[in-house]
Amino acid sequence: MLGNMTVTEFLEKTASNDPVPGGGSIAALSAATAAALTEMVANLTVGKKKYVEVEEEMKEVAKAFVDARKELIKDIDKDADSYDQVMQAFKLPKETEVEIEDRKNAIQEATKKAASVPLEVAQKAFAMMESIEKVVVKGNQNAVTDGAVAAMMARTAVLSALYNVKINLGSIKDEAFVEEVSNKVKELESKVEIVEKQILSQVQL
């Protein structure tokens, strides 16, 4: 599993001529690092006298981001698996009319999944930004730049995941699906950089 590799192994695998892990998996990894940094800032706030008033709030953030981080690590493999399913669909036989139709449908369904997985990653990464702002504003100010990096990594995760959504949408014939997903993409793209700037504007150095 990609999520269980060392950093060196993962990067070597990414650098190889194997198409996975690709941009979608990297987007999930970016989101996971954002979650880990947010969790760290929250943990560095807990137990400090100066931040006793926000201790319970930081404990809640840390607890929630344990789960978020683990889920996003799974998404690294989930994205790679969705790509593999598209490739397997293309390898299906196409000798008869029935086989051709079955192959076409399989490709479409696999491509929909390949679009849906990074969309979910983008949505998860964007949803984290509210808590990232919380640790930047209320958390241990000695680690405020770590919170800032979390915001930037979350933004990167959102935008890079959405690129992977859009490239898959170009191959999908289901117009209703394409329209629905495209609207979600546009909404996230229009919001994420605004939210990131809002968070970074509150970093006091």
Q: Which CATH architecture has domain 21-200?
A: Up-down Bundle (1.20)
Closest alpha carbon to 162 in 172, 151, 154, 173: 154
Q: What is the pLDDT of residues 64-74, one digit of tens each?
A: 999 999 999 99
28 Cβ contact list (under 8 Å, min separation 6): 72, 73, 75, 76, 78, 79, 118, 121, 157, 161
**Residue 200 and residue 120: Cα distance in Å, rounded?**
24
The more confidently predicted of residues 204 and 136 is 136
Which sign, positive or negative, has the C-alpha torsion 3, 113, 38, 145?
positive
pLDDT at residue 198, rounded to an integer: 97
Q: What is the pLDDT of residues 115-172, one digit of tens each?
A: 999 999 999 999 999 999 999 999 999 999 999 999 999 999 999 999 999 999 999 9
What pTM value is reported for the model? 0.95
Whole-Å CA distances, 94 to 106, 107, 113, 174, 191: 12, 12, 22, 21, 44
pLDDT at residue 205, rounded to an integer: 82
pLDDT at residue 63, rounded to an integer: 96
Closest alpha carbon to 60 in 121, 134, 7: 134
pLDDT at residue 204, rounded to an integer: 82
**Residue 123 and residue 162: Cα distance in Å, rounded?**
9
Q: What is the pLDDT of residues 159-194, one digit of tens each?
A: 999 999 999 999 999 999 999 999 999 999 999 999
Q: What is the mean pLDDT of residues 77-96?
A: 96
Residue with tokens 């690092």: 33
Q: What is the mean pLDDT of residues 19-42?
A: 97
User: What ranges do the domains of the chain cover?
Assistant: 21-200
- With a cut of 90, say whether residue 14 has pLDDT above it: yes
- Of how many residues is the chain composed? 205
Looking at residue 18, what DSSP letter applies? S
